[in-house]
Amino acid sequence: MENPVLITDIQKFAVNDGPGFRTNVFLKGCPLKCLWCHNPETIAPYPEIYWKSRLCTQCGACLEVCPNDAINPPIPPEESQSENSTYHKIIRDRCDRCMKCVEICPYDALTIVGKPMSVDEILDEVEKDRLFYENSGGGMTLSGGEPTTHEDFSDKLLKGARQRGLHSCLDTNGFCDWNVLKSLIKNVDIVLFDLKHLDPEMHKKDTGTGNEIILKNLGLLLETGIETWVRIPVIPNFNDSMDFHKLASDYLAGFAGKIARVDLLPFHNYCQDKYKWLGIDWALKDEDAIEPSFLEIPADLYREKGLLTTVGGSGFENTAESTG
């Protein structure tokens, strides 16, 4: 049986994922495995368990109910909560996610990540902030994970938003069959399209897939005339060199007049806790966040080629005027 579509979060008053104040709906499930992913809880399409050490009193209740011997015995809370602790409550390769530990935990130290919600439930929640959308030009942004992975559900959600008069953005990595993307954009106002790298081997090395389908879909998307914002997550030792930005700015300049704007999104490490809660040793945990001002120099490369470019992607930011 196919897994149900799960929601990891409905984030209100977002300002970096489309114009105005937005409500971001995060679907669970993504075909890419980006090394730097800032939302690791959205990759797997099934429910997962967060373990938050700061809330855990090490009472042992979860150990008693686990049928799979997938819980580590309690240790003093101060040890598990220490900065250098390697202790994790759940033995992940034994866990079948029966959720008995979550049900018994009296302190919410164990919580489920991924909640099934209907289209109407989501839209009812999104619509609560309609006044803010109308005053700011905002609306709903469908994100993830990857919305194209859940074609039918995403289609119903976007159609429902249009029927309710809600402005919609689709945030996609572009790794899908073109017909899926072509169908979804019929009910979308703006597409936020990720461009991670131009080199297929580099792309595959740090995302798990090549970029051939992605680049092809970007070209096809821009031919439709839909408003498209190309978003480049700038990642240390992946695409943070000036050489990359020279190539990328030349590539995007080839779509003159078809790209509404380019957003350079600086890497940050604020997601470290999520990796800890999932019991994942994040490869980039020791990387420093990129200071946004450092990206103004590469941003000028795009601007010089006639591309309206922001650093950070805020829908309220005064973007520098393109030149040329």
Which residues in 51-85 are b (16+ Cβ under 10 Å) and which e?
A: bbbeebebeebbbeebeeebbbebeeeeebeeeee
User: 150-197 pLDDT, tens per residue?
Assistant: 999 999 999 999 999 999 999 999 999 999 999 999 999 999 999 999
Q: How many residues does the chain have?
A: 324
Domain ranges of the chain: 6-44+117-311, 48-113
Q: What is the CA radius of gyration of the chain?
A: 21
Task: Determine the pLDDT at residue 323.
Answer: 31
pTM of the model: 0.94
Calpha distance 196→26 (Å, rounded)? 20
- Say if residue 1's pLDDT is above 60: no
**Bond preceding residue 145 cis, omega within 30 of 0:** yes
* Residues above pLDDT 90, as percent of the chain: 94
- How far, in Å, CA of 140 to CA of 128, rounded? 11
Is residue 318's pLDDT more than 90? no
**Residues 292-319, mean pLDDT to the nearest whole number:** 89
Mean pLDDT of 258-271: 96
Mean pLDDT along residues 253-282: 96
* The token pair that represents 258 in the structure block: 């078809």
The residue written with tokens 């971001």 in the block is 24
Count other C-beta atoms under 10 Å from residue 150's C-beta: 24
Question: Token pair of 313, please?
Answer: 């992607």
Name which of 231, 181, 250, 188 is nearest 34 in CA terms.
231
Task: Classify domain 6-44+117-311 by CATH number.
Answer: 3.20.20.70
Provide the pLDDT confidence category of residue 322 given band limits of 50, 70 and 90.
very low
324 pLDDT more than 50 = no
Kindly indicate the confidence band of residue 317, based on its pLDDT and cuts at 50, 70 and 90.
Answer: low
| The pLDDT value given to residue 88 | 98
Tell me the CATH number for domain 48-113.
3.30.70.20
How open is the CA angle 240-25-162, to the nearest 5 degrees?
115
pLDDT tens for 49-91 read 999 999 999 999 999 999 999 999 999 999 999 988 999 999 9
Q: Say if residue 319's pLDDT is above 60.
A: no
pLDDT digits (tens, 9 = 90+) for 208-238: 999 999 999 999 999 999 999 999 999 999 9
Q: What is the mean pLDDT of the chain?
A: 95
155 CB-contact burial (10 Å; exposed 0-12 / middle 13-18 / buried 19+): middle
Q: How far apart are CA 273 and CA 190, in angstroms?
A: 31
Structure tokens of 239? 């695409």
Query: Average pLDDT for residues 262-281, to the nearest whole number?
Result: 96
Phi, psi dihedral angles at 187 (to 5 degrees): -120, 30
Task: Return the minimum-mean-pLDDT range out of 2-16, 57-71, 95-109.
Answer: 2-16
Q: Is the pLDDT of residue 250 over 80?
A: yes
